[in-house]
Amino acid sequence: MIGVFRTWRLKQLLQPIIFGVLIGSLWCLGTATATADITQATFAGGCFWCMEHPFDQLEGVAATTSGYMGGTVVDPSYRQVSSGTTGHAEVVQIEYDPATVSYETLLETFWRNVDPLDAQGQFCDKGSQYRSIVFYHSDTQRQLAESSKQTVETLFQQPVATDILPAAAFYPAEDYHQNYYQTHPARYRLYRFGCGRDQRLAELWGTSPE
């Protein structure tokens, strides 16, 4: 009886430990699965202030971050990038769940928020730092981007200036640039109007996203 009691007591003591390990394992598995579901997409469409809002509105987009990509300077500042000497473009990097929003939907949103015919920049902002680019993170993204570019060229019946390039090192922009449309709504809208962005988008696509 003493041996049986000891065995029963040992099981009682071990149950909370086993249960805790099991719960911890399931939590880690769930976290890993959730993390695995999140995918990145990166687009350059002129001023990054204006590229966050359209993607933030999409269900399935977890986060958008303004930043810089495609240049040669490590961790550049806004002042450096805006000079047009670093090779970077202003971009928005998107974290999204492909089970909820497809990359094709992201591409459609991108095209309708840029002037794909402008090889000098975007709207009132000119220079290589404002050029339009699809930075692909996988071969699947590359294929879909190239296909969508061909569709846009057919739509306008002229060459599209937007580049399709492999994703490079991404450097987040300074904090005051993040979510600018939310933190400085009046200045943001004044900039959009003054830059002629909405007017040109309406001319190209029939309506302005804003």
103, two tokens: 């990359």
Residues 6+ apart with CB under 8 A from 162: 114, 116, 132, 133, 134, 149, 152
The Cα–Cα gap between 125 and 115 comes to 12
Among 47, 50, 124, 195, which one carries the catalytic annotation? 47
**Rounded to the nearest 5°, which phi and psi values hold at 83?**
-75, -15
Which DSSP letter does residue 98 get? Answer: T
**Rounded to the nearest 5°, which phi and psi values hold at 139?**
-65, -35
- Sign, CA torsion 106/44/170/173: negative
**Residue 114 near residue 54, CB atoms below 8 Å:** no
Instruction: Assess whether 47 carries a catalytic annotation.
Output: yes
Nearest to 33 by CA among 99, 114, 120, 123: 99
- Sign, CA torsion 140/69/163/165: negative
Q: In whole angstroms, how far apart are CA 87 and each of 74, 111, 168, 171?
A: 11, 22, 12, 13
Residues with active-site annotation? 47
